[in-house]
Structure 1
Amino acid sequence: MLSTEHRLTDAATFRLVSRTGRRSASRTLVVHLALTDLSGPRVGFVVSKAVGNAVVRNRVKRRLRHLVREQLTSLPDSGALVVRALPAAGAASAAELAADLDRCLGRLLPRDAA
């Protein structure tokens, strides 16, 4: 579980990050990263009904939260990250999600921070 200070909760910041942030995509995920005026890295997740039923969506969110929690130290201090699951994420294994998240973050983060 992500602690409260690392959660991205307001819709305006979600929109800002999704529209103005740098983007990287894979088969299962689209990751947006933007620098904001928030303190500490913040992370939000978007998992729509296209991913699957409620059980599948919640499983994908739990997996993504666990994977992103391990990556928090590599994010910029004022960074906001939005991870959007694509429909293929519903059928993907935890290892596939981890590989796709690592690949996307590797493209977005500077080489010295990754």
Structure 2
Amino acid sequence: MRHSSEFSAAVRKGRRAGRQTLVIHLNRTGSDPAAPARVGFVVSKAVGPAVVRNRVKRQLRHITRERLAALPSGALVVVRANPAAAGSTTLATDFDDALAAALRPSTGNSGRGRRSQVAGEPRG
């Protein structure tokens, strides 16, 4: 991905799954469902100096390239590296876990929002 609008669409409208070293934002409804999945990376200065950030980006590109076929067609994916990614040896495992969680079908109840009230229980 190269345009900020694509990054925004993936982050705002997509599903999010995070682990200690990274967060994956997945938007299955990309602009062209027949196109291959597109992936973008966000590695902020909090991760470390330029040498470290570039190393993390190279590692993430390598990990993603091997798993590109598992992504849905037309999907927009943003991989955001956390500061813990700088010295991590579990980046690939965290990527696989987060991607599996983002691809998992939604149960409809994300645990957010209003709590349901059981009849007869006082609100608290």
Question: Shorter-chain TM-score: which interval?
Answer: 0.7 to 0.9
- Unmatched segments (≥5 aa) in structure 2: 106-124
Is residue 87 of structure 1 aligned with residue 80 of structure 2? Answer: no
Whole-angstrom CA distance in 1 between matches of 2:44 and 2:7: 14
- Higher Cα Rg: structure 1 or 2? 2
Alignment coverage as a number of residue pairs: 102
Whole-angstrom CA distance in 2 between matches of 1:52 and 1:104: 22
Is residue 44 of structure 1 aligned with residue 37 of structure 2? Answer: no
Letter in 1 for 2:77: L
Greater helix percent: which structure?
A: 1
Runs of 4+ in 1 over 2 A off after TM superposition: none
Query: Which of 4, 9, 12 is the equivalent residue of 1:19?
Result: 12
Give the Å deviation of 1:10: 0.5
Whole-angstrom CA distance in 2 between matches of 1:110 and 1:28: 20
Q: Please provide the CA RMSD for this pair.
A: 1.1
CA deviations over 1:38-89 (Å, ceiling 9, x no partner): 3210000000000000000000000000000011000001111100000111
Is residue 34 of structure 1 aligned with residue 27 of structure 2? Answer: yes
Q: Secondary structure at the match of 2:47?
A: coil
Q: Compute the TM-score of the two structures, normalised by the length of structure 2.
A: 0.79
Give the Å deviation of 1:108: 1.6
Q: Compute the TM-score of the two structures, normalised by the length of structure 1.
A: 0.86
CA deviations over 1:8-48 (Å, ceiling 9, x no partner): 11001101111110000000000000021232100000000
Is residue 69 of structure 1 aligned with residue 62 of structure 2? Answer: no
- Unmatched segments (≥5 aa) in structure 1: 1-7
